[in-house]
């Protein structure tokens, strides 16, 4: 934990030094910018693909993202039940550029969701996975920079997200009938 705190102090130490960097980090840290971008990228994936077959694979990937996010949220809640880590601003002096969330610091929910998106995106479409991964990385880095998470929290959150994506991928055969039904309804509505 000592290394974790030291790394947090190093990153959070930059906060308040450069107004431009602070503004940029405040853009990435909030609950709206990155999640909106990730959701719109997923929506774009749903509609992309040349032909029904390629589009069907993309649509399965989007549904996998939804399942992975759901699973990541459940895993984070379960972790919170068994272990509570206070936020950095609760235990030490920090440069806080965000509001004070009251839930457990570890694992980072933002990291779990962001990397769940990115991991499924990577499995289906490498460039999309990279874009989503960069957005998720900026999201979690901004969380540390703005003083709401320790680095270990976001790493744990990222691992939860990637693990969720892998578990959903393993359970693909189980989930496939449900995915096929959703896509069939989408096709009937001309939206898949």
Partner 1 sequence: MEFHEQITIGYIFFGFAFLVSLGFWQILSASQGLRAFSLLPRGTDARWGYVLGSASMVLGAVWFFGTRTAEIFSPGPASSEFLFFLFLALLCTLLICIVFASMLGWITDSRRRRKRNPGSAVEALTAGRWNGELYLPTSEDAPWPVVCLVPGPDEGNTSMAGLGSELASRGVGALVMDSNRGDMWQYPDVLAVIPEAVAYLERRPDLDAGRLGLVGTGLGADLALRAAAADRQVGAVAALSPLLGPSGVQPGLDLLREMTYVEAIRWRRAQKGGDVVSSLAARKHIPQLGSRPLLVIQGERDRLASSVQRETLPEGAETKTVNGRGYLDLAQDGVVLSYTVDWLLKHL
Binder of partner 1 out of 10, 18, 21, 44 (CB under 8 A): 44
Distance CA 192, CA 177 (A): 16
73: contact with partner 1 by CB under 8 A: yes
With contacts defined by CB under 8 A, name the span among 2-10, 41-49, 137-145, 154-162 that binds partner 1. Answer: 41-49
Q: Which is nearer to partner 1, 6 or 36 (CB)?
A: 36
Binder of partner 1 out of 35, 95, 169, 182 (CB under 8 A): 35
Residue 143 CB, shortest distance to partner 1, in Å, is 13
181: contact with partner 1 by CB under 8 A: no
Residue 1 CB, shortest distance to partner 1, in Å, is 26
109: contact with partner 1 by CB under 8 A: yes
53: contact with partner 1 by CB under 8 A: no
20: contact with partner 1 by CB under 8 A: no
185: contact with partner 1 by CB under 8 A: no
Q: Which is nearer to partner 1, 18 or 43 (CB)?
A: 43
188: contact with partner 1 by CB under 8 A: yes
Distance CA 171, CA 148 (A): 34
Binder of partner 1 out of 10, 48, 84, 130 (CB under 8 A): 48
Asked if the peptide bond before residue 107 counts as cis, ω within 30 degrees of 0, the response is: yes
User: In sequence order, what are the residues at sequence separation of 6 or more whose Cβ sits closer than 8 angstroms to the Cβ of residue 111?
Assistant: 136, 139, 140, 143, 149, 153, 154, 155, 156, 157, 158, 160, 161
74: contact with partner 1 by CB under 8 A: no
Rg (CA), the chain: 18
User: In sequence order, what are the residues at sequence separation of 6 or more whose Cβ sits closer than 8 angstroms to the Cβ of residue 61?
Assistant: 45, 120, 121, 123, 124, 125
User: In sequence order, what are the residues at sequence separation of 6 or more whose Cβ sits closer than 8 angstroms to the Cβ of residue 76?
Assistant: 107, 109, 112, 157, 160
Distance CA 44, CA 48 (A): 6
Angle at 78 between CA 121 and CA 39, to 5 degrees: 25
Residues of the shown chain interacting with partner 1 in the complex, contacts defined by CB under 8 A: 26-27, 30-33, 35-36, 39-40, 43-44, 47-48, 52, 55, 73, 98-102, 109, 113, 187-192
């Amino acid at each position: 934990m000592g290394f974790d705190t030291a790394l947090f102090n190093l990153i959070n130490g930059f906060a308040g030094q450069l107004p431009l960097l602070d503004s940029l980090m405040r853009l990435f840290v909030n609950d709206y910018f990155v999640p909106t971008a990730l959701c719109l990228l997923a929506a774009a994936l749903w509609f992309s693909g040349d032909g029904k077959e390629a589009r069907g694979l993309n649509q399965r990937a989007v549904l996998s993202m939804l399942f992975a996010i759901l699973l990541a949220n459940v895993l984070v809640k379960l972790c919170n039940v068994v272990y509570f880590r206070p936020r950095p601003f609760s235990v030490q002096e920090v440069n806080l550029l965000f509001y004070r969330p009251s839930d457990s610091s570890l694992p980072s929910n933002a990291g779990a969701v962001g990397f769940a998106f990115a991991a499924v995106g990577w499995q289906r479409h490498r460039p999309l996975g990279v874009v989503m991964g960069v957005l998720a990385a900026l999201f979690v880095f901004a969380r540390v920079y703005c003083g709401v998470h320790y680095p270990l929290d976001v790493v744990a959150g990222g691992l939860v997200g990637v693990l969720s994506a892998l578990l959903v991928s393993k359970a693909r055969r189980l989930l496939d009938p449900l995915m096929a039904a959703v896509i069939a309804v989408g096709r009937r509505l001309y939206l898949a």
